Structure 1
Amino acid sequence: MAFRRTCLTAVAAGLLVASTAAAETELTVYTAVEAEDLKRYAETFNQDHPDIKINWVRDSTGIITAKLLAEKNNPQADVIWGLAATSLLLLKTEGMLEAYAPKGVEKLDAKFVDKSTPPAWVGMDAWVASVCYNTVEAGKLGLTPPKTWKDLAKPEYAGHVIMPNPNSSGTGFLDVSSWLQIFGEDGGWDYMDKLHGNIARYTHSGSKPCKLAAAGEIPIGVSFAFRGAKSKAAGAPLEIIVPDEGVGWDMEATAIVAGTAKLEAAKTLVDWSVTKTANEMYNSGYAVVAMPGVAKPVEHFPDNLVEKMIDNDFEFAANNRKAILEEWQKRYDSKSEPKS
């Protein structure tokens, strides 16, 4: 009898484990968030929702955007987390997003929420362009710190500048689209023609130019302020320069992929993405987050960063994205790194 009870107990335990495993929902989430941050997001989310497993598919903004567009008729993702708002605006026009107003969305700054009702996407945080300037390496070369974007086109910087390829990198695209807004279309392309002569190479990552500058492999990397602040906090001899003309920016945002078979779990994740807890986590790497009153100063961020953010025309950037990228590719791709 004792043996029989033991067997029944074992069977019951096995059924319980099987039932628990069966209850777990797996979400495929496409993201351009820095790889080192994904684990902590998933772990914190799972503290509240242990029944939902996140399977991250991570790459740079341009590659994730192209992947989503290629899969338009056969979507593989359930949720998009941390992709540029300009990319999500494009996906929205293609009818690829499931409109949803997450619980608590009214607590967010309105500029971080899609204007449709219900919204097709919601913002998380903003990242802002900047120049990572290695003071030690620049000193060896006798360079002086640039004060403006146009300074980077001066002959003294020839071969000493690296920036991201906008076809691969969201940071690269916000640079290019912002220059077209700051200098006008003709002036923007004229500026980029001159800058191209000083570019050592174009990377396929927005953070890589700053990482290379931090490591001393190049004196000047056009990147974003978060990466510069993080590298400087780790001891890199960097000056984070905010050019006088103003800087481009974009926001990371989240959306549900239309047609997902896991809609309820996807909504749960998007609900969590707008919580105070999530916004506090965004603030560990970004000075500007979607929920007002949450952001605390980020060490080594330039004091004038927010005031230098241009009045970015996201609709212009999204609507002209394809034409801008094609023109850039035609003019400058000869200096791009090989794709890995």
Structure 2
Amino acid sequence: MSISTQLKTLCGAVLAGSALLLTGCGNDSAETTQASNEPTELTVYTALEADLLDTYGKAFTAEHPDIKINWVRDSTGTITAKLLAEKENPRADVVWGLAGTSLLKMKSEGMLESYSPIQVEKLDEKFRDTSTNPAWVGMDAWVAAICFNTVEAEKYNLSKPTSWQDLTKPEYKGHVIMPNPNSSGTGFLDVSSWLQTFGEDKGWQFMDGLHQNISRYTHSGSKPCKLAASGETAIGISFAYRGANLIKKGAPLELIIPSEGIGWEIEATAILNTTKKMAAAKKLVDWSITKTANELYNQGYAVVAYPGVAKPVEHFPAEVGEKMIKNDFEWAAKNRDKILSEWQKRYDSKSEPKS
């Protein structure tokens, strides 16, 4: 068995149980020592929806056949915790598709390479790290939404909610499911946006009321919408992409954008400063901000980083853009640990078991 094969076998055994490993494991040897006829392998950590990875990966590889992506995917909270836990022994080369607040946390820990991708100035400024030492770059934004099952609502005589505050009404008791913010990026953007929208004291008061109606908290941001689509719940607090996708497949859902406004989060990309494959990593990040990449992002997300690319997404409510709150990502990242600790203390008793 060759040294290269031994390394791949060993790495695969180590990573197999730690996350959903979609396409094998990265080769730890430096770029300069790889055989010239073998592609450079990049281990890429991601929280992107699993059904998007093949599309993005194939498009990149078509232009860069000399680079192979080995995906490691899990929910936002899990991937963030994994990266922080591996700080002293990092295994990822690149993070492609993780919440901007998570990358801000990693930047504060000194884990990211300072890199400004080629033609980054073409992107909308809110998708750029404009600091002196830029370490991340945005790709798209995902937005909160309520997935409302009209069939289940009729069965239980539930009125259609129009606001977040509506979800605290007694009629919805046991009919609402939302993501746990400790494991889900969607859950965290919900909680941080409520605290910003209502103010911290009133934000926690709102969540106290909402908690009375929650049947359970999931560890996936898309799961509440999937459960609403299948009729397991009438109301799933989730995000618009997943709801629109399920409606397209025939689910009896309506996407509701609450009147107070919706939280949103940037999906972003960064390079781990410990990678031994810096040249390949930079090629991936350069490609991730191209117009071609943004056109792919727009297939599922109505808001993307490249101006002029975004076209209306089927089944997305028209008011999405105007209802996005003024989100203070720096505040959210700085207060992340405190917010999650308080949430867990108050509400974790209704969280589903981790698989």
Give TM-score scaled by structure 1 length. Answer: 0.93
Correspondence for 1:183: 198
Q: Paired residue for 2:210?
A: 195
1:170 corresponds to 2:179: no
1:283 maps to 298
**Alignment partner of 1:261 is 2:276:** yes
Letter in 2 for 1:337: E
Q: Decide whether aligned partners of structure 1 residues 147 and 117 sit closer, same or farther in structure 2, where only a CA change above 3 A counts.
A: same
Q: Aligned partners of 1:320 and 1:19: how far apart in 2?
A: 46
The aligned residue for residue 15 of structure 1 is: none
Taking only the aligned residue pairs, the percentage that are identical comes to 72
Shift of 1:74: 1.1
For residue 165 of structure 2, the aligned residue among 137, 150, 169 is 150
> What's the CA shift string for 1:127-146, capped at 9, x where partnerless?
00010000011110000010
Q: Which residue is 1:252 aligned to?
A: 267
In structure 1, what is the Cα distance between the partners aligned to 2:330 and 2:135? 14
Aligned to 1:302: 317
Q: Displacement, 1:259?
A: 1.4
Q: Does 1:212 align with 2:227?
A: yes
Measure, in 2, the Cα distance between the counterparts of 1:211 and 1:112.
Answer: 29
Match of 2:341 among 293, 305, 326: 326
- Partner secondary structure for residue 148 of structure 2: strand
Report the count of equivalent residues: 322
In structure 2, the residue corresponding to 1:117 is in which secondary structure? coil
1:85 matches 2:113? no
Supply the AA of the counterpart residue of 2:354: K
Q: Encode CA deviations 1:269-299: one digit per residue, 9 max, x unaligned.
A: 0000000110000000000000000011100
Equivalence for 2:14: none
- 1:38 corresponds to which letter in structure 2? L
Query: Match of 1:114?
Result: 129
Give 1:73 deviation, angstroms.
Answer: 1.1
Q: Deviations over 1:6-60 (max 9, x none)?
A: xxxxxxxxxxxx95543x1100000000011101111111111011110000000
- Is 2:77 the partner of 1:58? no
Shift in Å at residue 118 of structure 1? 4.1
Aligned to 1:238: 253
CA distance in 2, matches of 1:224, 1:235: 17
- Post-superposition CA distance 1:243-289 (Å, at most 9, x none): 00001000100000111100000000000000011000000000000
Aligned AA for 2:236?
A: G
SS at match of 2:60: helix
Distance in 1 separating the partners of 2:253 and 2:192: 26
| Structure 1 residue runs without a partner (length 5+) | 1-17
Q: Which residue of 2 aligns with 1:129?
A: 144
Partner Cα separation in structure 2 for residue 335 and residue 192 of structure 1:
13
Larger Rg over CA atoms:
1
Tell me how far apart the structure 2 counterparts of residues 113 and 177 of structure 1 sit (CA, whole Å).
Answer: 21
What is the DSSP-based 3-state SS (H/G/I as helix, E as strand, rest coil) of the residue aligned with 1:143?
coil
- Deviation at residue 157 of structure 1 after TM alignment: 0.1
CA deviations over 1:43-87 (Å, ceiling 9, x no partner): 111111011110000000000000010011111100000000010
Task: Give the match for residue 36 of structure 1.
Answer: 51
Task: Supply the distance in 2 between the matched residues of 1:19 and 1:338 (Cα, whole angstroms).
Answer: 45
TM-score (norm 2): 0.90
Q: 1:104 and 1:212 mapped to 2: Cα distance?
A: 41
Is 2:124 aligned against 1:105?
Answer: no
What does residue 9 of structure 2 align with?
none
Partner of 1:335: 350
